[in-house]
Amino acid sequence: MKYSGWNILKQALTGKKEWAPVWHKPEPKSHYETIVIGGGGHGLATAYYLTTEYGMKNIAVLEKSHLGSGNVGRNTTIIRSNYLLPGNEPFYELSMKLWENLEQTLNYNAMVSQRGVVNLFHSDAQRDSFVRRGNAMCIAGADAVLLDERGIRNLCPFLDYENSRFPIKGGLLQPRGGTVRHDAVAWGYARGSDSLGVDIIENCEVTGFIIKEGRCVGVETARGNISANKIAVCVAGSSGRLMGKAGIRLPIESHVLQAFVSEGLKPILPNVITFGAGHFYISQSDKGGLVFGGDIDGYNTYAQRGNLPIVEDVCAAGVAIMPMIGRSRLLRMWGGLVDMSMDGSPFIDKTRIEGLYFNGGWCYGGFKATPASGFCYAHLLAKDEPHPVAAEFRLDRFKRGHMIDEKGAGAQPNLH
C-alpha cells in the first residue's frame, strides 16, 4: 500500500479498514540464496539493497527478537558525515546522500531532519584540528562551516559562554547533519524489503553455523536448520559472541552505551550540539524531549543496561554547557550493546570461511551509517568484492598496519 496524503484522507473517511501490516510474518524456508543475520537497521538495509540494486532474490533476514529491539531502536538518532580520514569520509558522505532521499526511496516517513550538527571547540588547538576536519570534509564533497564564538552565540544563545573552565571559542557546523527517527528506519527498510519478497523472520535466533569443508552452507536457528549459499552476519553488539560460534575471533569488544530523554519541553534546541571538552551530545525530539548521551560505560559486557557513574558523568557534561537543563527532569534512559573495534572504525568484509560475510564494529556511531552500510554490504555480497567507498573496512587491516583511527587513540576500544 502506497503511503500518501491522499491515502491518509481516504482511510480517515472510510474507517481506516485498508491499512495493512507493514511486513508479513512468514515461516522460515529450508533454503535461501542469502541469509542476513540480524534485523537491525544494517541487516534490513542490506536485504533491501540486495533486491533493489543487485536484483537478488530468495533472501531472508533472521532476527532473534523483534525488529528494532537492538541499537537501531536505542540510539540517539544523530546523523552526520563529519569525518577526517579518507577511509571513512567518502563512506559517511554516501550515507548522508542516501539519507537525503531515503523517505522518497522507501515511501516511508523516517522524519529525516537536517537541522545541523555543531561540534563545539574550547581551545585554539581544538579549533585547528576542527579546521583540518572541515577541510577534509569539503574535499570529500561534504559541507562544513567554521563558526567563531559570535557565530555560535547567534546560533545557540542558550549555551553557557561565561564558563571559564570550558570557554566556548566556536564550533564546526555541518548544516546537512541532523536527526532521523531511529525505529522508523528499521520499519521503513523492513516494509521496503518485505514488499520485494524478502522473508523477515522474527524470534529466530541463530545459534550456530553449518560449516562443511571450509565453507559455510547454513545456520542453526531456534526454528531449525536453514541452508543458504551466502550468510551475512550483521548483529552489531553481538558480533563477537556470534562469530565465535564460527571459530572467528574479532578485533571487537562489546560495551554498553546509555541514552537519556528528558520530559517534553517547548522547542529550545534548534540543532544537534556536541560538547568538545567532554563527551556529551544533545538534540530535541519532535515530541519535545531532550535526547542526549555521552561515553560508553567502559567495561566489557553483553548486558543492555548501564550503570550510575555514567549518568552522573553525562549530566555533569550537559550542565557544563547548558546549565538550564539542570532544571528539567529525566524521563527515560536505557542501554544498548555497542561493538567497539580496536581503531573505532567498522568492518564490511568476507571472512576466511567461504560463504560467510561480516558487517560490524560500528561502535556508537553506526546509525548514521545505516543506508551506506546496507548499500556496501549488498555490493560485497552480490559481487564478492568491496564497494569502493568501503574498501578500507577490511578485517585484516591491523595485520597490514592500515588502521583507520579517527581519534588517534590507538588499540583501545574503550577510548574511541
Ligand X SMILES: Cc1cc2nc3c(=O)[nH]c(=O)nc-3n(C[C@H](O)[C@H](O)[C@H](O)COP(=O)(O)OP(=O)(O)OC[C@H]3O[C@@H](n4cnc5c(N)ncnc54)[C@H](O)[C@@H]3O)c2cc1C
Residues that bind ligand X (CB under 6 A): 37-43, 62-65, 69-72, 74-78, 205-206, 234-238, 242, 257-259, 293, 336, 338, 362, 364-368
Least distance (Å) between residue 308 CB and ligand X:
16
Q: Using an 8 Å Cβ cutoff, are 185 and 98 in contact?
A: no
Q: Using an 8 Å Cβ cutoff, are 262 and 302 in contact?
A: no
Rounded to whole angstroms, the Cα distance separating 154 from 70 reads 38
Least distance (Å) between residue 217 CB and ligand X:
17
Rounded to whole angstroms, the Cα distance separating 104 from 243 reads 35
Question: Considering beta carbons, is residue 169 or 285 the nearer one to ligand X?
Answer: 285
Question: Considering beta carbons, is residue 39 or 127 the nearer one to ligand X?
Answer: 39
Q: Using an 8 Å Cβ cutoff, are 100 and 114 in contact?
A: yes
Question: Considering beta carbons, is residue 251 or 366 the nearer one to ligand X?
Answer: 366
Classified as helix, coil or strand, 173 is strand
Least distance (Å) between residue 68 CB and ligand X:
7
Instruction: Characterize 201-220 residue by residue with b for buried, 16 or more Cβ atoms within 10 angstroms of its Cβ, and e for exposed.
Output: bbebbbeebebeeeebbbbe
Question: Considering beta carbons, is residue 293 or 413 the nearer one to ligand X?
Answer: 293
Least distance (Å) between residue 4 CB and ligand X:
28
Classified as helix, coil or strand, 25 is coil
Question: Considering beta carbons, is residue 64 or 416 the nearer one to ligand X?
Answer: 64
Least distance (Å) between residue 15 CB and ligand X:
35
C-alpha grid cell, residue 97: 546522500
Least distance (Å) between residue 257 CB and ligand X:
4
Phi-psi region of 401 (alpha: psi -120 to 50; beta: other; left: phi over 0): left
Q: Using an 8 Å Cβ cutoff, are 365 and 336 in contact?
A: no
- Residue written as grid cell 548514521: 368
Q: Using an 8 Å Cβ cutoff, are 147 and 94 in contact?
A: no
Question: Considering beta carbons, is residue 38 or 134 the nearer one to ligand X?
Answer: 38
Rounded to whole angstroms, the Cα distance separating 327 from 149 reads 25
For the beta carbon of residue 303, count every other beta carbon within 10 angstroms: 12
Least distance (Å) between residue 128 CB and ligand X:
26
Least distance (Å) between residue 160 CB and ligand X:
23
Closest chain position to ligand X (CB): 40
Question: Considering beta carbons, is residue 169 or 393 the nearer one to ligand X?
Answer: 393
Name the DSSP letter for residue 414.
G
Instruction: Characterize 340-361 residue by residue with b for buried, 16 or more Cβ atoms within 10 angstroms of its Cβ, and e for exposed.
Output: bbbbbbbbbbbbebebbbbbbb
Question: Considering beta carbons, is residue 37 or 127 the nearer one to ligand X?
Answer: 37
DSSP secondary structure letters along 105-151: HHTS----B---EEEEE-SHHHHHHHHHHHHHHHHTT---EEEEHHH
Least distance (Å) between residue 231 CB and ligand X:
11
Question: Considering beta carbons, is residue 169 or 182 the nearer one to ligand X?
Answer: 182
Least distance (Å) between residue 168 CB and ligand X:
22
Question: Considering beta carbons, is residue 8 or 222 the nearer one to ligand X?
Answer: 222
